[in-house]
């Protein structure tokens, strides 16, 4: 009902916050599955704005030997073809890297919900500057999953973000 939804972060709408937490659960399940497979615990899910799950996936660098298979990429590919992504929400356990932030902008995904941005600060400020509605939930489980992973497998983590420890 307001003029522009751009930049909306759900302030004052507790219901939307509860819905975001539910959406995040799908991404967290993917992250746990990835870790259980010996991979990097980052998960993502693409939803329609009405809450319908379109696709989900997790980082598969280790599992597939494929550094281009990030959680967001996996969820995006799992969703298959769509004519438009304006009406979709990319939900991810971790702030999206530049590669995945580029995916969001390339396909005009309207909204991004992020589990946490403490252990890694990717491109979400840049997305918000360009009109993507960004919500950072600062979820405790997402933070602890990444904190434990980085402590246990620092070389794998630094390989994933393209840095040397
Ligand atoms: Zn990425």
Residue 163 is a catalytic residue: no
CA of residue 99 to ligand 1 center, whole Å: 5
Which of 42, 37, 46 has its CA nearest to residue 70? Answer: 42
What is the predicted pLDDT for the residue at 11?
41
Q: What tens digit of pLDDT does each residue of 10-47 get?
A: 444 456 788 999 999 999 999 999 999 999 999 999 99
Q: Is the pLDDT of residue 136 over 90?
A: yes
- Residue 82 burial class via C-beta count within 10 angstroms: exposed 0-12, middle 13-18, buried 19 and up: middle
CA of residue 50 to ligand 1 center, whole Å: 25
Q: For the chain, how are helix, strand and coil distributed in percent, rounded to 5?
A: 40, 20, 40
Catalytic pick from 6, 25, 30, 72?
Answer: 72
pLDDT-wise least confident of 55-59, 77-81, 158-162: 158-162
Q: What tens digit of pLDDT does each residue of 91-134 get?
A: 999 999 999 999 999 999 999 999 999 999 999 999 999 999 99
Give the chain's length.
165
Name the band, by pLDDT with cuts 50, 70 and 90, for residue 163. Answer: confident
What is the predicted pLDDT for the residue at 14?
56
Number of Cβ within 10 Å of residue 130's Cβ equals 12
What is the predicted pLDDT for the residue at 13?
46
CA of residue 153 to ligand 1 center, whole Å: 18
pTM: 0.90
CA of residue 100 to ligand 1 center, whole Å: 4
Q: What tens digit of pLDDT does each residue of 59-103 get?
A: 999 999 999 999 999 999 999 999 999 999 999 999 999 999 999
What is the predicted pLDDT for the residue at 6?
43
What is the predicted pLDDT for the residue at 15?
67
Parallel, antiparallel, or unpaired for β 133-136 and 88-94?
A: unpaired
Owner of token pair 């396909």: 107
């Amino acid at each position: 009902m307001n003029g522009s939804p751009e930049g909306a972060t759900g302030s004052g709408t507790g219901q939307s916050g509860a819905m975001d937490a539910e959406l995040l659960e799908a991404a967290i399940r993917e992250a746990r599955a990835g870790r259980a497979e010996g991979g990097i615990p980052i998960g993502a899910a693409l939803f329609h704005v009405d809450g319908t799950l379109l696709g989900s996936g997790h980082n598969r660098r280790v599992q597939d030997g494929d550094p281009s298979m990030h959680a967001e990429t996996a969820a995006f590919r799992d969703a298959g073809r769509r004519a438009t992504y304006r009406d979709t929400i990319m939900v991810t356990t971790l702030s999206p890297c530049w590669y995945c932030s580029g995916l969001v902008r390339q396909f005009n995904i309207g909204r991004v919900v992020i589990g946490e941005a403490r252990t890694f600060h990717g491109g979400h400020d840049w997305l918000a500057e360009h009109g993507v509605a960004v919500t950072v939930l600062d979820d405790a489980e997402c933070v602890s999953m990444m904190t434990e992973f980085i402590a246990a497998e620092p070389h794998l983590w630094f390989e994933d973000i393209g840095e040397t420890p």
